[in-house]
Structure 1
């Protein structure tokens, strides 16, 4: 246990509990002849692994200020040139991810797959898809993410509750053409897929071959156009699917229980910096555990630089990983599980269930700091960049002596406060990805991943849009407006100049005869509303309708038709 901090380190803040001073049975620190300097033997013991004396300290006990690596990123954090120069439209930003290279790959492989399906005897009309048409197809996918009708065919239906006077999809592409592209859309080459399938069961088999061409490009684009800030987080993400694939995962505690698991590195603003698709433990075979391999594969010093702080949950946190990150020049902080290898298991002076809310206990083991905090339940943290307690508090409900509930300040460790502030990067990203997502149920697992790539591109583009607006001091759009404008730019249909439908519902005479003597008999019909005789009819519907000042059946009928169609006149 550290008795007194050396003079070269600032004395940390201590805290006295509301019920009185700390009841720790430790001996008060004594100043010796060296004026506060720790003897060499004790200093060596305090800075070596496993140096704790087998008991938990309280927040009143002094702690060392950790030696945090200097933050030296490889590039200036934020949006990277050339996006920082001038103003960029949503299409310009999104093209940084889905550029001409990606569009050409999709067109070439989709045409090959369509030819193969025709040779197999499938019946559909096909013409080669070109880049401009593929962009329109992607624009319709984004539009469908905003509208979200039950079935794809509903977007082209006219006799439905959802029909609007301006049928956007029909002005861009026919329904049969859209469905034909959807059925034949392919990311990889069909011939290469067949060769890869022959290797199934061998080490040369690539289970992600069908998405590999775009997967590598997407990861590189996410890292190239944006550089994360100092605090980043690692967590898993689930893409909902029940396709028949061996790497499909089931996670009971997740909102999306069945799907494809991704390990994601995200900035605090929700930007997806990098990701890995989990296909089994065999792909992470360093022998140090899956969590160790995942974090070290996502955190690349050659790309990031040094001094970054990685936040993670108890699935990834381990003393072995944190010491390795410290050697690489990174900081780390995360929750940890009781009983894990390297986590102190001593019960001496540890908090119990009866400990008051806000009780803090800690043990420093070399560069690692383990902190226990009693909130609603006990929370255990491990960090290499924070001190135990710096005076932070949090409001919690507490029952007073007279039975009333009130919010009272409760001490909170620095690691917990910083963890709550910076750990939500992946969760923020998931929330933004779920807003107006293009994801739709499909039997093809690789199409599910392709849809997720499109969601990542749109969400990251929106985050870049907000960053650029902050640079130029402009007001940014909402995420929905951003996606609407992006869909309009991809399809080539401007939002502010929607063409009006031609109205053929005009009142015309029943008979155009010039003989006035014949109009009384031949030039009249029975009104379909009031059943009276009228010389007027609807040009489009060809039915009799009255058109008089005191009996305007024509307008009443057309107003009713507009309500039935869900539109307006």
Structure 2
């Protein structure tokens, strides 16, 4: 039998690397039997690497170190170091013949970090190239994005028909019924009525006010002959508008007390639920969705009014929204009403919100992007079971993150990867004092571009590209918002419904008609179709009639490059010139209605 006393560690590593991956539990060859001793008592079938001090002598001189046993797949990437008499157990401190070869795991990938919640994290490898492979089942979209068949059937080719897909006649009839009931109760007049066409005109004036960005103008000023919007006075009397606004209701007062016992949002919940139902049934979103909160600014007296110090408006009613990242279409949403009795005790608020928002789109292969308020490993596991993936930032205070990862010290633009059973955790040092953690069940391979300056991993880039859906739709709603001062919170919620409905109907109209139209023009045309007038009437008198008191600008020859005026002691620059001498002349030095200098005049 040959002697292996002078066998080097590189030879041992070469033998181990030549083994196939699926042969970790197979019997060793004759050559490997002198290097590896199979530990039959180990439950993980690991190999113990030892070296005989003298293979021709008695086997009692062979030292077996059971504490140094590691999996074979781990030894293939481990570094080997030669030592003398450093073994544990029987071999501790033994000065035998020759030297022993001992395995020491110094690669960081072999360390397993366990968090306080019991999640195990194993360091992974960061590649520099995108390795193509088969996509997991939860990442395969099984639906086509765009308007549904129901929306295509009901669309009649006009802007009003696209808006009616979101705000249908049943919602308008419900508002009509509740408003008439309240007016008859207060006025004690059963003849008071609100026709549907008059309700459409009322909503058209509200939309026109928002499109003209006149939400902060008082109602009386909107009907002013000099400064008001001519569209308002042409279609409805001011007192009639104020009367409808006074009695505008979204529920029946006699049934309110009973419904408020089970629904805090009962004063407008029927209108809101119908709006969300129509939005879901008319459009199929793409593969990427975004979930976040919207704070609709108001200071009305309300049981669920929220204060958020980091928001610009501070006070308001909070809504949880789910938005399609590609089209910015509102897919789902509901208000935050405080403590929810239907939420399980072992489920956090963030998990409950995401699961409720994604309920219509589960088992379809979509991805949801969230912030650190929602993201957790338990939520990722629940979504994977329903064929849905998640990408989001993770708060350091989460129990899912081990303390060693929280306190990791990384250099600038350095990235560490950790893998769990279902997720991948990316730790990226984006700024000297900012450590970013991205949890993803979508990405199985994390890579960076070595030529990029900041070396951002693909998970960070994906999060940056899909995180802003709710923020964008909130900015769009505020741009042409119909919101106006009101002390009744149901009216404020109705304003928010009209803003979001205008955005959804605008997206549906563009998809169904395949036309490009600005959102402002869409709102103005919608107001026109609601009352049947031309859009040009939406212009204010001051903008439609020129002011003759302003003298017309003198005419003269223009040049592309601005030059200094030739008049002495004048330092102005101009692109005009005298019509006679052709010298540069500014407007201040002009002495005639025509552009002439003093000499030529």
- Tell me how far 1:190 sits from its aligned partner: 1.9
> For the residues of structure 2 that align with 1:500 and 1:416, how far apart are their CA atoms?
48
Q: 2:469 aligns with which of 425, 433, 439?
A: 425
- Tell me how far 1:325 sits from its aligned partner: 0.8
Whether the 8 Å contact between 2:139 and 2:365 is mirrored in structure 1 is: yes
TM-score by length of 1: 0.71
Unaligned runs of 5+ in 2: 1-12, 26-43, 45-70, 75-108, 553-601
Whether the 8 Å contact between 1:389 and 1:412 is mirrored in structure 2 is: no
Whether the 8 Å contact between 1:388 and 1:415 is mirrored in structure 2 is: no
Whether the 8 Å contact between 1:52 and 1:364 is mirrored in structure 2 is: no
Residues 267/38 of structure 1: CA separation in 2 closer, same or farther (3 Å cut): farther
Counterpart residue number, 1:447: 491
Counterpart residue number, 1:290: 349
Q: 1:276 aligns with which of 322, 325, 334?
A: 334
1:18-55 deviation per Cα after TM superposition (whole angstroms, max 9, x unaligned): xxxxxxxxxx9996343345847568999x99599877
Whether the 8 Å contact between 2:128 and 2:450 is mirrored in structure 1 is: no
Specify the SS of the correspondent of 2:383.
Answer: helix
Verify: 1:495 aligned to 2:535, yes or no.
yes
Q: Which runs of structure 2 are paired with 1:70-469 in the superposition (5 Å)?
A: 70-71=138-139, 75-84=143-152, 88-119=157-188, 127-149=192-214, 150-158=217-225, 160=226, 162-163=227-228, 167-196=230-259, 204-268=261-325, 269-287=327-345, 288-300=347-359, 303-347=361-405, 350-352=408-410, 355-356=411-412, 358-376=413-431, 377-387=434-444, 389-392=446-449, 409-469=453-513
- Greater relative contact order (CA < 8 Å, ≥ 6 in sequence): 1
- Tell me how far 1:346 sits from its aligned partner: 1.6
> For the residues of structure 2 that align with 1:336 and 1:182, how far apart are their CA atoms?
45
> For the residues of structure 2 that align with 1:52 and 1:39, how far apart are their CA atoms?
26
Specify the SS of the correspondent of 1:375.
Answer: strand
Residues 71/378 of structure 1: CA separation in 2 closer, same or farther (3 Å cut): closer
- Tell me how far 1:157 sits from its aligned partner: 0.9
Unaligned runs of 5+ in 1: 1-27, 198-203, 395-407, 502-555, 564-569
Residues 56/458 of structure 1: CA separation in 2 closer, same or farther (3 Å cut): same
1:225-275 deviation per Cα after TM superposition (whole angstroms, max 9, x unaligned): 001111111111111111111211111112232111111111002111000
Specify the SS of the correspondent of 2:436.
Answer: strand
Q: Which runs of structure 2 are paired with 1:554-569 in the superposition (5 Å)?
A: 559-560=548-549
Whether the 8 Å contact between 2:128 and 2:448 is mirrored in structure 1 is: no
> For the residues of structure 2 that align with 1:282 and 1:494, how far apart are their CA atoms?
48
- Tell me how far 1:191 sits from its aligned partner: 1.5
Residues 60/231 of structure 1: CA separation in 2 closer, same or farther (3 Å cut): closer
Whether the 8 Å contact between 1:55 and 1:349 is mirrored in structure 2 is: no
- Tell me how far 1:328 sits from its aligned partner: 1.3
> For the residues of structure 2 that align with 1:192 and 1:378, how far apart are their CA atoms?
53
Whether the 8 Å contact between 1:109 and 1:188 is mirrored in structure 2 is: yes
> For the residues of structure 2 that align with 1:339 and 1:68, how far apart are their CA atoms?
30
Specify the SS of the correspondent of 1:307.
Answer: coil
Whether the 8 Å contact between 2:443 and 2:459 is mirrored in structure 1 is: yes
1:431-472 deviation per Cα after TM superposition (whole angstroms, max 9, x unaligned): 211121111121000111111111111011111223235xx4
Whether the 8 Å contact between 1:233 and 1:425 is mirrored in structure 2 is: yes
Specify the SS of the correspondent of 1:265.
Answer: strand
> For the residues of structure 1 that align with 2:197 and 2:157, how far apart are their CA atoms?
20
Specify the SS of the correspondent of 2:200.
Answer: helix
Moved more, 281-290 or 335-344: 281-290
Residues 498/224 of structure 1: CA separation in 2 closer, same or farther (3 Å cut): closer
TM-score by length of 2: 0.67
Residues 289/53 of structure 1: CA separation in 2 closer, same or farther (3 Å cut): closer
Q: 2:126 aligns with which of 59, 76, 79?
A: 59
> For the residues of structure 1 that align with 2:371 and 2:15, how far apart are their CA atoms?
39
**What is the total number of aligned residue pairs between the two structures?**
445
Q: 2:20 aligns with which of 32, 35, 46?
A: 35
> For the residues of structure 2 that align with 1:241 and 1:348, how far apart are their CA atoms?
38
1:306-333 deviation per Cα after TM superposition (whole angstroms, max 9, x unaligned): 2111110000011111111111111111
> For the residues of structure 2 that align with 1:223 and 1:562, how far apart are their CA atoms?
56
Residues 74/132 of structure 1: CA separation in 2 closer, same or farther (3 Å cut): farther
Residues 225/38 of structure 1: CA separation in 2 closer, same or farther (3 Å cut): farther
Whether the 8 Å contact between 1:106 and 1:187 is mirrored in structure 2 is: yes
> For the residues of structure 2 that align with 1:34 and 1:300, how far apart are their CA atoms?
47
1:358-395 deviation per Cα after TM superposition (whole angstroms, max 9, x unaligned): 2001110111111110112211111111145333479x
> For the residues of structure 1 that align with 2:491 and 2:14, how far apart are their CA atoms?
65
Moved more, 75-84 or 184-193: 75-84
